[in-house]
Amino acid sequence: MYAEKQQLHEPFLPEITTDSSKHRRPQRRMKCQKETRQASDGSPQLLSKKEIALFRNSPKQFICVELLQDGYHRSFSELFSLLGLDEDRRAAADPESARLQSPPLGEQRDKLETMKLHLSRAEQVERTGFWSVVCEQRLLLGRYFSAPEDIWLSLYFYHSCADREKGGNSRWATEARACLADLYLQKGDLEKARQQAELCLKQAEEGGWLDSSGRPLKLQSCQTLAKIYNQLADFALANADYDMAVALNHKGYSMATECENKQIEGRAAFELGLTYQSSGDHDSAKQFFNSCMQIYSKLQDADGLAMTYKAMAKSSESEGNTSETLEYLEKSADICSSSGLQNRLADVCLYVGNIYYNMSQYPRAYEYFLRSYEVASDAGDVALLQKAQVLVGHTHTLLSMGKFSVDMESVSTACMKHQVVWRETGRHQDLSTEQSAASCHSLSDQSKMDKHTELLS
């Protein structure tokens, strides 16, 4: 009923009024909309000088002119210098490298705009003496240029932040040093990496600085130094300078214990144990391997435990303790088997097989070589598969020759039958017989090997 009453009182069409103002307003809006549509449809528009320059000039010219017009003369000089360095780098590159290079810096508008933004901000606050903000802007630029082709720019801006006379001990400058240490470590320049990391550690301890994520910069410096010292120790070890290698590994271990990262501490202990092992000090090596096993056990790191047990076995083998060697290797194999570490299991089985082979226990050696072959086959590790296949074949041949020799020396009827069958078939027979002096797998294992040779083709 209410709807029907509303329809009776409300007219079907709006009333027509004679007020002229009510007619003209919609016409003005329509006229404006019409002009806007015409402008968007491509009618001529007046462009500003800046918009004209944006289309007419190259990105390099446009950004440089803007810096000068806004009064940032130092930023202009720095940017212009970097553009020149980029041109020199590209000219000095060999043809193959030049072909793979990214476009010239002067043609990459986004990068130029980013540099203009942060350099002009840094110059503006530098005039007022806010040195920490200057460092912050340069640190942001260093982080921005993270792509591999821009590493040179990242190094430049990190250095321009960390090496400043004013603000060089600020939190931003200290973080820049941490970034420099990581970059030099990635490039393989260990001496420069160590120099920057040690300076960073000193400044971080003095200032108590935190990085951008709120983590103490001291921990980051210790972590980086641990990696650097261990890599330097590897070079010393390669040159048979065991004393220097041990000293460097001790420094790395000391840094690792302070970085509050048990994974890094365990790795540093393992590296130190390996260095002592290479120098012949197996007692010290076992001491650090035991520390390493304790850490990996708490972390439930199966790969680390398997690796450490194998290293312990090597030290025991060097000391002539075969039973202890096999005990450690069996533990390593059990961990690998239960954790699905197929590649490491294949390697451990080869190790055990070699020990039995050197002890002339060829059936046991054959058993472990075959197991290594099967595991490597399932894992698709062609390198281990090839190595295991050679050892399986060699050991199988030794066992066959031993069985044939026994049959030749014997005058029993069974041995004579074996010789006849051997001659007629031209193939190795099952070696796991009661009369055999050695116990190993039958020809079914050989057929299994033939089936897996497809991986080697």
State residue 326's pLDDT score.
93
Work out how many domains the chain is built from and give that number.
2
291 lies in some domain = yes
Domain of 386, in residue numbers: 369-457
Query: Are residues 257 and 374 both part of a single domain?
Result: no
Of 32-36, 106-110, 252-256, the poorest mean pLDDT is in: 32-36
Alpha helices in 93-170 (DSSP H): 95-100, 109-126, 131-144, 151-162
Q: What is the pLDDT of residues 385-444, one digit of tens each?
A: 888 788 887 787 777 664 544 444 554 566 556 555 655 565 444 444 333 333 333 333
Burial track 212-234 (b if 16+ CB lie within 10 A, e otherwise): eeeebbbbbbbbbbbbbbbbbbb
pLDDT class of 23 with cuts at 50, 70, 90:
very low
Query: Are residues 248 and 311 both part of a single domain?
Result: yes
* Nearest in space to 310 (alpha carbons), one of 330, 296, 340, 292: 330
Residues 6 or more apart whose CB falls under 8 angstroms from that of 368 comprise 349, 350, 352, 353, 356
406 lies in some domain = yes
Supply the DSSP symbol for 94.
Answer: -
Cα–Cα distance measured from residue 386 to residue 453, given in angstroms and rounded to the nearest whole number: 9
284 lies in some domain = yes
Alpha carbon separation from 438 to 350, 360, 412 (Å, rounded): 20, 11, 18
Res. 53: pLDDT tops 60: no
Supply the DSSP symbol for 240.
Answer: T
State residue 62's pLDDT score.
84
State what percent of residues in the chain have pLDDT above 70. Answer: 74
Global pTM value: 0.73
Query: Are residues 222 and 334 both part of a single domain?
Result: yes
Residues facing 210 on adjacent strands? 216
State what percent of residues in the chain have pLDDT above 90. Answer: 53
State residue 415's pLDDT score.
55
Average pLDDT, the chain: 80
Task: Choose one of 340, 360, 388: the last residue of a domain.
Answer: 340
Helix axes 171-187 and 151-162, enclosed angle (nearest 10): 140
Res. 6: pLDDT tops 60: no
Query: Are residues 237 and 313 both part of a single domain?
Result: yes
177 lies in some domain = no
Helix (H) or strand (E) holding 78: helix 73-92
State residue 142's pLDDT score.
96
Task: Choose one of 340, 357, 378: the last residue of a domain.
Answer: 340
Query: Are residues 382 and 300 both part of a single domain?
Result: no
Q: What is the pLDDT of residues 302-327, one digit of tens each?
A: 999 999 999 999 999 999 999 999 99
Query: Are residues 305 and 263 both part of a single domain?
Result: yes
98 lies in some domain = no
Query: Are residues 407 and 326 both part of a single domain?
Result: no
What does the pLDDT average to over 58-87? 91
Query: Are residues 313 and 235 both part of a single domain?
Result: yes
pLDDT class of 452 with cuts at 50, 70, 90:
very low
Query: Are residues 319 and 219 both part of a single domain?
Result: yes
- Cβ neighbours around 251 below 10 Å, total: 19
pLDDT class of 366 with cuts at 50, 70, 90:
confident
75 lies in some domain = no
405 lies in some domain = yes
Query: Are residues 455 and 408 both part of a single domain?
Result: yes
Supply the DSSP symbol for 20.
Answer: H
Instruction: Look at the chain and count its residues.
Output: 457
Query: Are residues 279 and 391 both part of a single domain?
Result: no
Residues 6 or more apart whose CB falls under 8 angstroms from that of 109 comprise 59, 63
Instruction: Provide the sign of the torsion angle of the four alpha carbons 309, 314, 317, 321, taken in this order.
Output: negative
Residue 406 burial (10 A CB sphere; 0-12, 13-18, 19+)? middle
Q: What is the pLDDT of residues 243-293, one digit of tens each?
A: 999 999 999 999 999 988 999 999 999 999 999 999 999 999 999 999 999
Cα–Cα distance measured from residue 128 to residue 161, given in angstroms and rounded to the nearest whole number: 17
Query: Are residues 321 and 380 both part of a single domain?
Result: no
* Nearest in space to 140 (alpha carbons), one of 175, 186, 166, 108: 175
Contact criterion met (CB below 8 Å) for 367 and 391: no
Query: What CATH number is given to the structural domain containing 249?
Result: 1.25.40.10
Cα–Cα distance measured from residue 330 to residue 325, given in angstroms and rounded to the nearest whole number: 9
What does the pLDDT average to over 121-130? 92
Residues facing 216 on adjacent strands? 210
Q: What is the pLDDT of residues 325-335, one digit of tens each?
A: 999 999 999 99
144 lies in some domain = no
